[in-house]
């Protein structure tokens, strides 16, 4: 059995991961930490877990103890905090899957520019944990940087077109909508019910911290530096992301070539469902799953291709993808613990 621990188990992503680990046939729960709720059973913090897991939460101050009891540690902490504990787990021989941004960006200067934090361990060899793009590297990794939610939806949507050379590199526009759980569990006026219900609003236009992450991975796919225009929106729903991506087609590119590019990229992927040309993904159809639904439309009048991507931000955008990465690290089927349809309605 794989002994799995969660650092920061009481955030939304951490507790969703816990739900998945409980139903994984090859996992035993080791340690659950929380700085705010230490000493309490997690089922007291999250009553929906009663009778399923009543493990008492502890603080993460004893890294050596946690490492000794773990084969893999999931670190679900805010940016700037993971870098304080990840090197210690790696030194103890424990595999790490980090939910945060500390190891996603290859360029230390870019990280420090966008996150306003000095990186203390940029030398660690992290692998960007998007399996559909980096599966072989993940197999050999000790540290996996689990991608962000907006980034997963956007990269999966756009990368095949750039890799196939069917779309121009500029402009690339990503217009994305997210449920409020993406803001985390902490109290915030922006996520307050009266502020979000019956309301849609854009935020962080041109400045969202997932922007350099998307640009990094799309640049690798294109073999050239990519700059995007990214606008996130907050939606009155608890979970889900819908990303609508606009790219100008290269001369002569056809809908048949576009379809072939997506088939080549994801035709054998269980978690990426290709709805095909002219279809409409929706967050309802991926809710609670690790799926990404993709469809594409050619606007002949403007010579653009419009790609629509839907994921659950807490699943393929966080906990589900982390478990998919764990399965790869330990040589298990990627679908283990994740093979189920969406919650519906």
| 142: its two tokens | 């000790």
Q: What is the pLDDT of residue 107?
A: 97
SS3 162: helix
Which ranges of the chain have pLDDT less than 70?
A: none
Whole-number average pLDDT of the chain: 97
Q: What is the pLDDT of residue 191?
A: 85
Q: Is residue 344 part of a domain?
A: no
User: Tokens 């985390």, residue?
Assistant: 184
Angle ∠(270,144,25) on CA atoms, nearest 5: 55
Active-site residue identified among 149, 214, 241, 292: 149
| 28: its two tokens | 């035993």
Question: What is the pTM for the complete model shown?
Answer: 0.97
Q: What is the pLDDT of residue 192?
A: 87
Q: What is the pLDDT of residue 277?
A: 95
Active site residue 149: yes
CATH number at residue 61: 3.40.50.720
Q: What is the pLDDT of residue 336?
A: 98
| 327: its two tokens | 């399965």
pLDDT by residue (tens digit) across 75-113? 999 999 999 999 999 999 999 999 999 999 999 999 999
* One domain for residues 168 and 288: yes
What contacts 95, CB < 8 A, 6 or more positions away? 71, 72, 73, 141, 142, 143, 144, 329
Alpha-carbon span 274 to 20, nearest angstrom: 24
Q: Is residue 123 part of a domain?
A: yes
Q: How far is CA 213 from CA 5, 103, 138, 285, in A?
A: 26, 11, 17, 26
* One domain for residues 204 and 280: yes
User: Tokens 């290709």, residue?
Assistant: 274
Share of the chain above pLDDT 90, in %: 96
Range of the domain at 200: 150-311
CATH number at residue 209: 3.30.360.10
């Amino acid at each position: 059995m794989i002994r799995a621990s969660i650092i920061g188990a009481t955030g939304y992503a951490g507790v969703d991961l816990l739900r998945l680990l409980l139903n994984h046939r090859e996992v035993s729960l080791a340690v659950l930490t929380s700085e705010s709720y230490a000493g309490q059973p997690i089922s007291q913090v999250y009553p929906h877990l009663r009778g399923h897991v009543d493990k008492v939460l502890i603080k993460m101050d004893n890294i050596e103890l946690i490492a000794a009891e773990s084969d893999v540690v999931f670190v679900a902490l805010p940016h700037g905090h993971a870098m304080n504990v990840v090197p210690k787990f790696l030194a103890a021989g424990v595999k790490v899957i980090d939910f945060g941004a500390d190891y996603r960006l290859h360029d230390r200067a870019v990280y420090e520019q966008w996150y306003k934090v000095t990186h203390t361990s940029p030398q660690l060899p992290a692998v960007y944990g998007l399996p559909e793009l980096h599966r072989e590297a993940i197999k050999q990794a000790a540290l996996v940087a689990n991608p962000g939610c907006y980034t997963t939806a956007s990269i999966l949507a756009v990368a095949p077109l750039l890799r196939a050379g069917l779309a121009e590199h500029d402009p690339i526009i990503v217009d994305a909508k997210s449920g409020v759980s993406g803001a985390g569990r902490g109290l915030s006026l922006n996520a307050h019910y009266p502020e979000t219900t019956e309301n849609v609003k854009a935020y962080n236009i041109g400045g969202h911290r997932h922007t350099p992450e998307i640009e990094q991975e799309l640049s690798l796919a294109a073999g050239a530096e990519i700059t995007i225009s990214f606008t996130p929106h907050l939606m009155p729903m608890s979970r889900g992301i819908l990303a609508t991506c606009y790219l100008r087609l290269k001369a002569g590119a056809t809908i048949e070539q576009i379809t072939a590019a997506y088939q080549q990229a994801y035709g054998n992927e269980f978690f990426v469902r290709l709805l095909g040309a002219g279809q409409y993904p929706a967050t309802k159809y991926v809710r609670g799953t690790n799926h990404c639904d993709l469809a594409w439309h050619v606007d002949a009048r403007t010579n653009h291709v419009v790609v629509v991507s839907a994921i659950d931000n807490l699943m393929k955008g966080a906990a589900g993808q982390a478990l998919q990465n764990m399965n790869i690290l330990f040589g298990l089927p990627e679908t283990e613990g994740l093979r189920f349809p969406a919650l519906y309605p």
